[in-house]
A and B are shown apart, each in its own frame.
Chain A
Amino acid sequence: MNKDLTDPTKSKIYEALIDQYTSVEPDDPLGSDMILNFGPQHPATHGVLRLVLRLDGERVIGCVPEVGYLHRGYEKLAENMTYHEYIPHTDRLDYLSPLSNNMGFALAVERLTGIEAPPRAQYIRTICSELARISSHLMATGSMAMDVGALTILLWTFREREKLYDIFEVLTGARFTTSYSRIGGVAQDMTEDVEKMIWQFLDYLPEAIQECERLLNRNRIFVERCDMIGIIEPDDAIAYGLTGPNLRGSGVERDLRRDTPYFVYPELDFKVITHQGGDSLARYYVRLDEMYESAKIVRQCLEKIPKGEIHANKPKKVLPSKERVYTRMEEMIHDFMIVNFGIHPPPGEIYSAVENPKGELGFYIQSKGGGVPWRLKIRSPSFVNIQSLPHLLRGVMVSDVVAVIGSLDPVMGEADK
């Protein structure tokens, strides 16, 4: 092994920092600017994001994000396991909203296989996605406020998330790693107890959000730390491929729930929240308002949800229910075949995307007809959003770096895959 390559000061990441405008040696002690390593172990980087910042005094003049500290090779793993076996791994992508990842993956495989989940399962999926969105946005709001010094909000939003986790526990059997979706349906039916719990939560939620709003919206410290910081114009936001609340914070109306309809979103009435400005504050407002909209969507779903099956009627593709596996021959054979050999979608390749709390979560699946995907690419929103950090951070103060990262709301589990 060449020693030079393992020496961090000779790393290419520093070379990337020197652009056409600056020619100062990064090691030069007498230069007016300095190099600051920010992360990977830093509480404000939301995991293990590393930024190499080039500072002029206290201003950031260059930034190179470095990801990969949490790389677990999920795309390689996917090529070696069946589609059903992969569902638990989608929990670990965006671990703040595992439910919506589950649903996105199941939808992608269903589109590839050509099956459709029955209406009740579709409604349950919509409810799950929106509850996950509320949970993720609560976390984003709390941690962003904490990054600029308001610890109270974090504790309050965590208290609300705790109630959501209680609901997830009764619904899916797990608080955190839910693995709730199945190809062609969901794992188990939603009981009336869960519906009651969700109604109670929805009644309480607006008040809880307003509590946080009262602490933040007219809080001078918070507003001045976020207003006009980390600005990205709509054109740049589109060019950088930002999606989700970060794009809508720049005033671009792009929401896959409305634009490329899936689940039961076309039947529901909701607004696409946008805010002008493109700064940290706008992104914060988008998340706050989206929580109200999500609550509205869940309400409509709970009112409309029909009774019926939760699995599609495709015996060779969809796992049968456990009681039937234990009592019937046919179902037992199918269960054995699906668990051991996979569901064998036809050869072909598709791209399927859903609107996750963080942005567009896409799965590109190449199938060659076997039980396992030939290639499964995860288009993770956080990875693309982090890419825009050099643009957002140009010219801001060092202390604002944490506020900008918090407003982008990246999750490294997803960015590093």
Chain B
Amino acid sequence: MIAQRAAEKLKERFPDSVLSVSEFREQLLVQVETSAIRDVCLFLRDDEELQFDMAIDVLGADRLVVESTSEKADYINDPFDRQIRSKKQEISMNERFEVIYVLYSNKHKEYVRLKVRVAESGQKVPSVAQVWKSANWAEREAYDMFGIEFEGHPDLRRVYMPEYFEHFPLRKDFPLMGIPGSLPLPDKQ
């Protein structure tokens, strides 16, 4: 299991930056300090033994739990509501977003996953687009969908949504039906 070995090596090399190592269904997830992510990735790529030479995916995720208003309170009690909306769980806005890196080693034919947490605003994640070229568009997608900003990214534009779109659609507080008027139609000639 090279993923375990990678976790051990990371703990040795970056004792302060590796926050936790968890395992679920035999898949390893290493949570690291946000500011150290580029160094960690460079180490995983260049280490002779590990050689994680592919960044299969870089994805964002939102941890926000929608706060219930009095109007929504009935909705929460509705048994047909399939979303989990617990009122007790509070997520600190300093750790609202996650960026998850799925890496693959062609030598060992195994995956390892890294995770960093990002604040809602003001914090940037060091970009790994220079480490793996494939991270370029993946980070752009995370920016497009969640508004997570990457520091040192060569070309941080939106991927899917139009440039003038002002919202971030995959955030949990973006409504499913969209925001009326946010995508204007062309003027009638």
Contact = CB atoms under 8 A, between A and B. Distances in A.
Interface stretch (A88-96, A123-131, A221-229, A372-380): A372-380
Interface string A338-376: 001110000011110100000010101010111110110
B100 A112 contact: no
Contacts of B161: 68, 71
B126 interface: no
Given A76-B170, A238-B53, A239-B134, A372 B83 contact: yes
A368 B83 CA distance: 9
A387 B134 contact: yes
A372 B61 contact: no
A259 B109 contact: yes
A71 B158 CA distance: 12
A371 B80 CA distance: 11
B163 A370 contact: no
Contacts of A114: 25
Given A76-B170, A351-B113, A241 B164 contact: no
Contacts of B163: 5, 11-13
A interface, over-half SS: mixed
A146 B90 CA distance: 56
Contact of A241 (B54, B170, B184): B54
A23 interface: no
Contacts of B102: 351, 362, 364, 379
Contacts of B62: 375
B134 A240 contact: yes
A364 B82 contact: no
A375 B99 CA distance: 12
B61 A366 contact: yes
Contacts of B138: 384
A217 B12 CA distance: 54
A167 B134 CA distance: 37
Given A2-B164, A241-B54, A351 B169 contact: no
B159 A68 contact: yes
Interface string A1-41: 11001100001110010000000000000000000000000
B6 interface: no
B169 A73 contact: yes
A374 B71 CA distance: 23
Contacts of A71: 160-161
B57 A379 contact: yes
B54 A238 contact: yes
B111 interface: yes
A59 interface: no
Interface string B167-189: 00110001010000000100000
A112 B57 contact: no
A111 B56 contact: no
A80 B84 contact: no
A252 interface: yes
A82 B144 CA distance: 25
Central interface residue in A6, A360, A370, A377, by most chain B CB within 10 Å: A377
Contacts of B170: 75-76
Interface in A177-216: none
A360 B106 CA distance: 14
A362 B29 CA distance: 16
Given A241-B56, A353-B56, A76 B27 contact: no
A383 interface: yes
Contact of A239 (B27, B80, B110, B133): B133
Contacts of A152: none
B157 A239 contact: no
A360 B138 CA distance: 15
Nearest to A391: B133
Contact of A5 (B100, B164, B174): B164
Interface in A225-282: 236, 238-241, 252, 254, 259-260
A372 B25 contact: no
A341 B83 CA distance: 9
Interface string B137-177: 11001000100000000010111111110000110001010
Contacts of B84: 368-370, 374
A238 B56 contact: no
B136 interface: yes
Given A260-B109, A383-B137, A241 B132 contact: yes
Nearest to B100: A364
A366 B111 CA distance: 17
A67 interface: yes
Given A11-B163, A68-B160, A240-B134, 13 more contacts: A13-B163, A16-B155, A67-B159, A80-B176, A238-B54, A239-B54, A241-B56, A348-B25, A349-B100, A351-B27, A371-B82, A372-B82, A383-B137
CB-CB nearest 9 A-B residue pairs: A241-B134, A5-B164, A68-B160, A348-B24, A259-B109, A370-B84, A71-B160, A371-B82, A377-B59
24 contacts: A1-B164, A6-B184, A12-B157, A12-B163, A68-B158, A68-B160, A75-B145, A112-B25, A114-B25, A236-B133, A238-B53, A239-B133, A240-B134, A241-B55, A241-B56, A241-B132, A241-B134, A252-B106, A260-B110, A341-B80, A341-B82, A348-B24, A379-B59, A387-B133
